[in-house]
Each structure stands twice: as structure tokens, then as C-alpha cells.
Structure 1
Amino acid sequence: MKQTLHALALLSLTAAPAWAQPAPAAVDPGMPSLEREMEAANAKPGPRTVPGREIPVPSTVSEAFRSQVAGPYRAPAWNAHPKDAAAWKDLIDRLAKATAAPIPALREKLGVTSESAIIGGVKVFIVQPKTLPERNRNRLLLHIHGGGYVYNPGEAGTLEAVLMAGLGGYKVISVDYRMPPDAPYPAAMDDAAAVWKAMLAMQKPENMAVFGTSTGGGMTLALMLRAKAEGLPLPAAMGLGTPWADMTETGDTYRTNEWLDNVLVSYSGYLTPAAKLYAAGRDLKDTQLSPIYGDFTGLPPALLVSGTRDLFLSNTVRTHRKLRDAGIEADLHVFEGMSHAQYLFATDSPETKQVFGEMAHFFDAHLAH
């Protein structure tokens, strides 16, 4: 009987009318010559040569997120080249005001409160839902904001904390760490470490997690390495959003996603001068600057987030593999069409809700009550 059905199925396929057959794909008349050109250019082992391309906006992202994917480069943030400290400060202030402006409305929409405080001698913002879920009443998160070690001082640095509090239902302490040009390394790490030490007196480490995006992800890793070296308790989990884990411009997607990522765009934009400004002459392979070169043994479980267009996709992938190689539980989520940290900019999109939903669920699975 099965053989008969199989034969009938084959017959129905072969006997289908001509109009039911798929039309042959149109052949690009220029393709044969392009094939020969690329074949010749890549005939020997070495760097890959690719033709100039126009990359369409993928139809596979949500309608709410598509405008982010299709958007122009985020100038002047990505290609800033301030000539001196005064110019840096002016740029940082202008961008911070623009970033902070919509945050109060977002807090109201998500039912979140924010208050400034001093913890461990460091400025912080305490961000939490107006109604804290019962399961999270004894849980506490440390947030380290992104911005290339120079952007997002003050309230501008709380955007991710607001999203985690509102979408994830957690109480968050967001550290307003010192930054260049006035305070290069190690000021930012000293501030993050001081807040973590103070939080250890506020809550049990098994009830806490540390998270951040971009610079915040890199600093989260660096903080774990520092805490381990100093014999401090580590949190129960960490969230690493597209972490700047390597300042040395090492990794495949620093090239493959250059000019495709519409947030960072190119490492030769503001990232190179920002890294040098923060490092202040220190070796960029120092594990407190580029934690990818550190020993990940004993670090907490981690959730990592990136996107297919992210300039830091390789940073994220390499960090994920190194954590796994060290025997650390690590989940990697790569989102379609997403450039660097773009889930922070489309707050109503399904992608953003998924990122913070996944991270909240991961923390819920690893934090004690």
C-alpha cells in the first residue's frame, strides 16, 4: 500500500500541468563574468575579495524593527573625531541630552521608577518596577551601561536598566561610572567594583546578576575577572549584550560587517579614538580592557546577545566559545538583521521584548529567591 501511495505521489508530481511548475529563476546576464572575476580574485589562499554589494532590508524582521534596520548611520555618534578634551565633552553632553530626553516617558509607559543615589561612594540610579514581582523581591541586578567608555553619562546611561526593570521585572542598580576625558582607566572599573562590593552587603551574591551592553558587557566580564582575582563573591549570572570584549580590533566581523552595521559602522569611526582615550596608553590586551584574553574559569553562567549585522558579532561569538571552553554555561542569541545593540533603540519591537524576556528568564533560572 505504501509503495502504491508513493507511486501515486510521484505520478501526481510528474503529471502536473506546465502552469503548476515553478518558473525558472531569471539569470543575471552579468553573473558569468562576475563569477569568473571572483574566481580569479580568490584563486589563492588569503584574504577574501568580494564584489561591491547592495544589501536589502531583510523581510524576516518585524515591522516594528524594520525601520531600525533600514535607518541611516547614527551620526554624529559613530564617526566623531573630537580634536581635544573640550570637544569630547561638548559631544558627550549633546548626545547625552538627546538620549536622556525620551527616558522619562519610557519609564512612565513601562511603570518604572528611577532615583539617584550614592552606593559605595559612587553615583548610581536605582531603577525598579512600581510593582515588583514577588519572585524578584529578594533579587538585585547591577547594570553597567554602554557607550564606548565615553558616552551616556547620567540619566542617559539608564535606558537599558529601564527596559530590564520594565520588561523583566527586576530591581536594578545602574552605575554612573566616571569616564574620559577627565577620568580614563581605571576609574570606570574602580567605580563598578566599588558598587559591586557595596551590593554584597545589600543582598546575597546568589540572588544577584550583573548585565550590560557593549562597553557594559565588556566591563561586566572585566568586573568578574577583577572580583575573582580579589577573592570577592561572584553573582549567580551575567548578561552580556554584544560585549566589547576585545579592544584590539581582532575578529572576523570587524571586517565582514563593517559599513553594514548602521550603529557602529566601522571600528575606524569613534571606537578607535575612544579606546585610546580610555586606555590612556595601557596595553589594549590588558584583561581589564580586553577581557577576552583573561581566564574565564569559574565565571557565572552567561546569556549573550548579538545580531547578524553587528560589528561586534565576533566579539560575542568568541566570548561565548571561550566561556564554553572554560566549562561555563553560556547561551548565545543572535537576532536577524540586528546591528550593534539595536534592541535598545526599538523599545516597542518584538525583538527588544524578546531580548529582555530571554535575559529575564535566564536570570530567573539561575538566581536564588
Structure 2
Amino acid sequence: MIKLLLAFFFGVGLAVLAFMAKPLLAPPPPSVHVSAEAAQAAVATRKLLAPHMIELMTADITVKRSIIDQYFYAPKINEARQLYPVTESVLEIDGVYTEVFTPAEGIPPQNAHRVLINLHGGGFALGARTEGRLESIPVASVAGIRVISIDYRQGPEHRFPAASEDVAKVYRHLLQTYTPEQIGIFGCSAGGLLTAQSVAWFNAHGLPTPGAVGIFCAGAGKFGTGDAGVIADTFGSSIGVDDDFAYFAQADWNSALVAPQEHPNVLERFPPTLLITSTRDFAMSSTLVTHQRLVEAGVDAELHVYEGLGHYFFADTGLPESRHVFDVIARFFDQELAAAEPLMPTAR
């Protein structure tokens, strides 16, 4: 009897694992509107991660980070470095580790007094010193502007508002050299949400609003809510989003510092905002709602939605769609950031 029970539970466990792994093992049909390169990249990523699915679902955070860094980020970072030449350096700012990315051909005169802050994605648990490189390299190269990527504190080791505090430290430091109008902030996924949280944090703590921000693969509220979660499940493009991030274990999602999306009085103080999402992104609904709320609050908000692509599709930096994204980002910050020589910082 015991053997039968063990066999039953073992079988159930295998069935559950197979169901959870299915989105990565059985790719959905591509949209007729995506490039052949994008369709191939989605399949390649699934095949790449498939052998590691059990560990990604069951191992501790250290192992998960190692797998994602080695098999997902590392090859994509190598490709980005070849396609988008930059110089890279390490800079510690008030105890916060950052990496600086500068266009290999130098910074053009109009960008000499501009700077971008990158806040990497990774579910507030992964991507430190890897996804930050992947997000920053193409933007620095295409936009011709210096990008500083912040290795902010994450869970499960740390809790909210540790990341917001780290971003504020770096921002305060940059305000000694740049006016707020010359500073832009952008991030994808968790970094997109953190970008919104940082603007709310600055306003709540007497810091001036930056010149412009980019919220990519995210909104200013919870991930995986609304129709986007259902769509992502249907197309197998969900990656197991869970509201219970370890980083937010002690946070209140009703707080404006956690989910600014639900607070019009906070959103109305946002600078010009670029939002980027895609139709198979589990975070699309949050992006769309955030854009709507920003427009209602009178903010200059620009939205780009890419057909048939999943969450953070531009991690594959050579795709035609990815190149379009980088051009959009470069144009946006060029239009919105002040280009004059630094003056004494002024409040907005």
C-alpha cells in the first residue's frame, strides 16, 4: 500500500512539473507579424532553459541566479557587446555598486551633460550585474549617452524599500553634477516597476523629479494582473509570476511607494514617461493601465506595444524589433532630457 501511495504521489509530482514546464517545452505558434528572427529566438530560449527547469523551480536562489546568469544572460550579453560597442567600468557611489557604460565612439556634444540610470529587471531577485549590462549596453551605444546601472538590493536577502533607497543614493550623488532635467531613468520588468517606485520615492522624500523616465515590460503596479496574465498563459509566455515576491513580503501594495499606479496625486508629478510592452507580455495590462492613468493625470506619456512578442523580448538585442526599441528609447530621451551645461540643481 505504501509503495502504491508513493508511486501515486511521485506520478502527481511529475505531472505538475510537466505542466509547469510546458510553456518552455512547447512553443506557441508565432504571430504572422513578428520577424522570423524573433520567432526563432523565442524557440531557442525555451530549448536553452528546458534542461534546467526543475532546478529553476525547486533550487534555492543562489542556484537559480547561477543558472539564469550562465545560460540566459551571458550569451545575450556577449552578443550585445559585439553589436553595440561600449566601454565598461565599475563605480561605487555612496556604498552602492554601479557599472558605467559609455559609447565606444565617445559621447556626442549634445549628450555630454546628460546621464541615464538603468534599473535592471529580474523579479527583484535575479539579474544583478548581468541584466543591467544587457539592458544598458545597447541603450548607451544607440543613444550615445552614458548609462549607470545600479546593483540595488534585492530579495530574498533584503526587503522593500531597500532598492528605492539605493536608487535615491545614486540619484542624490548625480544631482551634484547634473540638473534633474538632465537625468533619465529606465528599467525593464522589475526595473520598470522600480523606476516608477523611485519617482514616487523621490517626491515623498523631497528630491526633484528627473527629466524623463522609461517604464519597460512593466507598469507602476502589480505584474500579471488583468487580461495580460490570461493571454500569457494561453500563449505559454508566462514565467510563473507571483505577487508574493520575497522582496515585498513586508510591503503594502496599497502604498503609493509600492504601486504608484493607483495614486493620481503621485502620478501627476511624473516626468515625461515612455512605456514599452508587447502583446504576449504578462505585464502588458499593468503597462496599459499605467499609461492610461498617466494620461488622465496630465503627464506626457508615450506608449509602444509590440505585436506577438513576450516579456523582455529585446533581451535578444539583434532582432529587428529590438533595434526598433533601442531607436525609440534613444529618440525619447534625446527629446526629453535637457542638453545644456550643468547648473545648480533646481526642483521641479
1:179 maps to which residue? 154
Q: 1:190 aligns with which of 165, 174, 179?
A: 165
Pairing partner for 1:111 from 64, 85, 102: 85
Counterpart-to-counterpart distance in 1, 2:45 and 2:93: 39
Task: Kindly provide the amino acid, as one letter, of the partner of residue 286 in structure 1.
Answer: S
Which residue of structure 2 aligns with residue 334 of structure 1?
305
The offset of 1:105, in angstroms, is 5.2
Residue ranges of structure 1 left out of the alignment (5+ in a row): 1-53
Which structure 2 residues correspond to residues 1-369 of structure 1 after superposition, within 5 A? 56-70=29-43, 73=46, 80-82=56-58, 87-98=60-71, 99-104=73-78, 106-130=80-104, 131-247=106-222, 249-262=224-237, 265-266=238-239, 269=240, 271-272=241-242, 275-294=244-263, 295-345=266-316, 347-369=317-339
Q: Distance in 2 between matches of 1:249 and 1:284?
A: 14
Residue 64 and residue 250 in structure 1: after superposition, are their counterparts in 2 closer, same or farther (change >3 A)? closer
Give the TM-score of the pair, scaled to structure 1: 0.77
- 1:50 is matched with which residue? none
User: Against the structure 1 CA distance between its residues 282 and 319, is the aligned structure 2 distance closer, same or farther, given a 3 Å change threshold?
Assistant: same
Does the CA-based 8 Å contact 1:248-1:285 persist in structure 2? no
* CA gap 1:283/1:81 in 2 versus in 1, 3 angstroms: farther
Where 1:258 maps in the other structure, the secondary structure is helix
In 2, the alpha carbon distance for the partners of 1:361 and 1:280 equals: 38
Q: Which amino acid aligns with 2:251?
A: R
CA contact (8 A) 1:69 1:337 kept: no
Distance change in 2, residues 1:78/1:124 (3 Å): farther
Between structure 1 and structure 2, the one with the greater Rg is 1
CA–CA separation in structure 2 for the residues paired with 1:366 and 1:196: 18
Deviation at 1:71, TM superposition (A): 5.0
Structure 1 residues 360 and 108 mapped into 2: Cα distance closer, same or farther (>3 Å)? same
Q: Distance in 1 between matches of 2:196 and 2:54?
A: 24
Seen in structure 2, the aligned counterparts of structure 1 residues 123 and 72 have a Cα distance that, compared at 3 Å, is: closer
Identity, in percent, stands at: 31
Quote the Cα distance in structure 2 between the aligned partners of 1:55 and 1:102.
22
For 2:271, the aligned partner's letter is P
Shift of 1:97: 3.1
Which sections of structure 2, spanning at least 5 residues, go unmatched? Answer: 1-26, 340-348
> What RMSD in Å do the two structures reach over aligned CA positions?
2.3
Which is richer in helix? 2
Displacement after TM superposition at 1:108 (Å)? 4.3
CA separation of 1:103 and 1:297: change in aligned 2, threshold 3 A:
same
**CA distance in structure 2 between the partners assigned to 1:291 and 1:324 by the alignment:** 14
Q: TM-score, normalised by structure 2?
A: 0.81
CA distance in 2, matches of 1:330, 1:303: 6
Runs of 4+ in 1 over 4 A off after TM superposition: 69-79
CA distances 1:18-40 after superposition (whole Å, capped 9, x unpaired)? xxxxxxxxxxxxxxxxxxxxxxx
Hey, what's the Cα distance between the residues in 1 that align with 2:184 and 2:236? 29
